[in-house]
Amino acid sequence: MTDTTSLPAPGNLALTPVPAADRVFHWPEHASLWFSLGVGLLVIQVGAYLVPAVGTRDAMLAVVLGSLLGAGLLAWTAKIGCDSGLSSAGLMHATYGSFFARLPVLLNIVQLIGWTTFELVIMRDGTAAIGKQTLGFALDGPAGVLGTTLLWGAMLTALMAGSMIRLVRRFVARFGLPLVIASLLWLTWQFAGQLQSRGFAAIWARPGDGSMGMLSALDLVIAMPVSWLPLVADYARHGRSGRSALGGTWLGYAVANIWCYALGVLVASVAQPGDNLVGALLLAQGGLIALSLILIDEIDNAYGDVYSGSVSAHSLKPSWSIRRWGLLLAVLCTALALVLPMHSLEPFLLTLSSVFVPLYGVILGRLGFRKRPEPAPSPRKIDVTAAVLWLAGIAIYHATAAWAPQWGSALPTLALTFALAWLTRPKQV
């Protein structure tokens, strides 16, 4: 007999499969969406951060390997979401049980609020840099911070009032993507030329200062795609087939992540010590236009976070629509961007990884090899084994970081939780 108290409430769109009429994404939509979400100033900045720590060559190696692996995890999760038609919250319910899943769903909402707030700060700071270096406007004072934050927050709120499917198909795929690709091509050409003129061989062989090992650098690169794991199913569930969701997501995100990280490595390799990354981009020929387009593209990252957060929040309180939750979260993140210090980047990324790497290690181990994942949340309130594996995975992540940092944390934790979850998976009826 099924425990009806644990079934999704009527009208809970987050915990029921997407109907066929809403499954409209083909391979190009998946690829364009995840390329667009993979592009951002934040990613470029992390790429620049790697260079002084591990050196140019090792930074590029970490970028390529970490991006391929991280994008592969995203793509695999996208396939599960598409095959089942479930949102990220639905996958958590199916794996951990209807009651316990509320904990990771809540943590996901918190991290998405944090990411959105961080994105608004990045867009605000980028706007201030453009205004100061090109127009002579001082936008870093209280009035400037207030005005630019409210500007980007208002844009985000306006987007949340529209349709996610229409935004992806009509704006991102048709207009946004070509402009962003053109911007990245131009900036890459400019900084690659500087790299060549200053001596490619010498800069390529430049060593790091030893403040970070190679596996730790991989952790930092993987942290970026891992941060999208709790979102990907919210979009992939609208896909036509699991194969197109897997291929489009993997290619789109891997190319974008490698490209933006590599651009950050290029900029850091040729910039003068102490140079600001945004300032270095602006000083490149045509940098103002290219940076402005990338900055505008950043808004879809914030949109992606808020939309997924609203789906997760709707799963907890279905009487509020996804759109209503989205508007509320957009306003909340705008307010938080005005008051929170949001520049502690590395600890923020790695703390998120410590929660979501083992969380999705267990989900992939349980659901990743099923021909057809459960179309509805588990009737159980708690899957004790899955819950214990996740919590133990968090402890293992921090233990390896503290006692064996040379091995990294993400990869060992992911491998262990995945293997144990697969070995202890319930038999499929």
pLDDT by residue (tens digit) across 410-428?
Answer: 889 999 999 999 999 887 6
Let me know if residue 226 belongs to a domain: no
Let me know if residue 245 belongs to a domain: yes
Residue 158 has φ and ψ, to the nearest 5°, of -65, -40
Per-residue pLDDT, 243: 94
Beta bridge partners of 188: none
Per-residue pLDDT, 299: 84
Per-residue pLDDT, 274: 58
Per-residue pLDDT, 104: 95
Residue-range definition of the domain harbouring residue 154: 21-213+233-342
Q: Do residues 66 and 283 touch, judged by C-beta distance below 8 A?
A: no
pLDDT (mean) for 342-369? 80
pTM: 0.87
pLDDT digits (tens, 9 = 90+) for 271-305: 766 566 666 776 666 667 777 777 777 788 889 89
Let me know if residue 416 belongs to a domain: no
Q: Give the E-state strand segments of 159-238 in sequence order.
A: none
Let me know if residue 317 belongs to a domain: yes
Name which of 172-176, 177-181, 319-323, 364-368 the model is least confident about. Answer: 172-176
User: Which band of pLDDT confidence, cut at 50, 70 and 90, is reported for residue 4?
Assistant: very low
Let me know if residue 108 belongs to a domain: yes
pLDDT digits (tens, 9 = 90+) for 84-96: 999 999 999 999 9
Let me know if residue 421 belongs to a domain: no
Cβ of 362: how many Cβ atoms within 10 Å?
Answer: 29
Mean pLDDT of all residues in the chain?
A: 84
pLDDT (mean) for 192-212? 79
Q: Do residues 101 and 92 touch, judged by C-beta distance below 8 A?
A: yes
User: Which band of pLDDT confidence, cut at 50, 70 and 90, is reported for residue 318?
Assistant: very high
Q: How many domains does the chain have?
A: 1
Per-residue pLDDT, 424: 92
Residue 284 has φ and ψ, to the nearest 5°, of -65, 150
Please report, for the domain that includes residue 48, its CATH number: 1.10.4160.10
Name which of 38-52, 142-156, 254-268 the model is least confident about. Answer: 38-52
pLDDT higher for 69 or 226? 69
- Judged against a pLDDT cut of 90, whether residue 247 lies above it is answered with yes
Per-residue pLDDT, 273: 61
